[in-house]
Every structure is written in structure tokens, then in C-alpha cells.
């Protein structure tokens, strides 16, 4: 009598599951690279090509782009939450606020997708929405603590930081092709403007654009908008 192996107990589909997980990892890694350099305005077809997998494989793992954005950036926002928690542990309230702002601006200057997520809506992105709900109370505590300490201008509101971060992101976008780290120059100007102490001036890092670089930057921006 021939005895057949009971494959249900050992799970013969395990290699397939491992292969599927490898594909999922390739898709996530490819999307992270594209989001960082181009922002979240890309297609799943482009992600598939970059990951070197079929388009159908991407759609089996992620039903829509919002699911993929969630998969990529939920962990990034976990990192932002940790930064916010570290900021509150710094004894000096101003130093805590400055560290938070610098680390967030550093992140968005290197990752256009992160900037898009922080500045955009959470529609269709449940994981990101949950993370934002966890982060926002920490941001408020950090800002209010700095204001109550007398270090932050008394007329600065928590919601001002949405526009402030957007301004630094715009400066980073302008600087990227010429000197990627030059966003710190404009970040420093912004930070000094937030201080309650009048006349406090921090030496500026980096340099101003040359006239030729301004012309080149304007031309590049005009080309992207066409």
C-alpha cells in the first residue's frame, strides 16, 4: 500500500509565503526610494517597475496607493513620535523645541514623500491618521512648554508650526539641486525669529545663492510646472 505524506501538517505553501514576503519587501523598499526623491505623486505602475515585479504583484499586496503610503510612512511617523518624546525629556524647553523642529525639517529635506505626508491629508491612510493622533498632543505640549518658559515668543501659536515647517520645506526644495544641506541656513533664520529674546542672533550656516544659481533654480522650477 502506498502511503501519501500529509502535507497539510507541514504546510507546503511556506516557500510561496516567503516569496510573497520578499516581493512585499521589494515593493516597500522601491516605493520608499521613489517617494523620497519624487514625493507621493507617483503611480503603482512606477513602483512595480522600480521594484522589478509585475504590476499585479503590487496590486495583490496593496489595493491602492493609499495603502502603500500607509505601509511606507507609518513607521516614519513612529520615528517622529520618538523624536517628540525625546524633545519633552530635554530639561531646557527651548532646546527641546529646537531639536524637534530641526529633526523634522531634516527628515522632510531628505524625503519629499515625508513632507507630502506631514503636510497632506490622511484620507484613505488609516495608519498615518492614527500616528498623527498620537503625535499631535506631544507637539502641542512641546510648543506650550517653550512658550510658558519665556523662550518662545508669546504670540506664537501651535498651529503656526504647520506653515513654519512648510516654509523650511520650500527652502529645502529650492536648495536641493545646489547645496542639499543649505536648508539649515533658512531654518536658522526662522528659529531666531521664534525667540522671545530680541536681538538674539545665531551665526548662519551655509551660504546665500549666487545670482546665477537663482536664475538656474527659477528655470528648473518653471520646467517642473510645465
The per-residue pLDDT for 4 is 46
The per-residue pLDDT for 142 is 97
Q: From first to last of its 226 residues, what are the pLDDT tens digits of the chain?
A: 444 444 444 444 444 477 778 888 899 999 999 999 999 999 999 999 999 999 999 998 888 899 999 989 998 999 999 999 999 999 999 999 999 999 999 999 999 999 999 988 888 889 999 999 999 999 999 999 999 999 999 999 999 999 999 999 999 988 887 888 999 999 999 999 999 987 777 888 888 888 888 888 777 766 655 4
Judge if pTM exceeds 0.75.
yes
* Adjacent-strand bridge partners of 203: none
Amino acid at each position: 500500500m502506498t502511503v501519501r505524506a500529509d502535507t497539510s501538517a507541514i504546510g507546503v505553501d511556506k516557500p510561496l509565503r516567503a516569496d510573497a514576503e520578499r516581493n512585499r519587501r521589494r515593493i516597500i523598499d522601491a516605493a520608499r526610494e521613489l517617494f523620497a526623491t519624487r514625493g507621493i505623486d507617483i503611480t503603482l505602475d512606477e513602483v512595480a517597475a522600480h521594484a522589478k515585479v509585475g504590476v499585479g504583484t503590487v496590486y495583490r499586496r496593496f489595493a491602492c496607493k493609499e495603502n502603500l503610503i500607509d505601509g511606507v510612512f507609518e513607521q516614519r511617523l513612529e520615528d517622529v513620535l520618538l523624536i517628540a518624546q525625546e524633545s519633552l525629556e530635554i530639561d531646557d524647553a527651548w532646546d527641546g523645541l529646537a531639536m524637534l523642529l530641526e529633526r523634522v525639517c531634516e527628515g522632510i529635506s531628505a524625503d519629499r514623500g515625508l513632507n507630502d505626508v506631514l503636510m497632506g491629508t490622511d484620507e484613505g491612510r488609516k495608519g498615518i491618521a492614527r500616528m498623527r493622533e498620537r503625535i499631535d498632543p506631544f507637539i502641542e505640549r512641546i510648543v506650550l512648554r517653550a512658550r510658558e518658559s519665556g523662550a518662545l515668543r508669546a504670540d506664537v501659536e501651535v498651529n503656526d508650526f504647520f506653515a513654519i515647517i512648510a516654509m523650511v520645506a520650500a527652502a529645502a526644495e529650492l536648495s536641493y539641486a545646489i547645496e542639499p544641506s543649505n536648508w539649515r541656513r533658512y531654518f536658522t533664520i526662522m528659529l531666531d525669529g521664534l525667540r522671545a529674546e530680541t536681538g538674539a542672533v545665531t551665526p548662519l550656516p551655509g551660504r546665500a545663492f549666487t545670482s546665477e544659481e537663482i536664475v538656474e533654480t527659477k528655470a528648473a522650477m518653471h520646467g517642473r510646472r510645465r
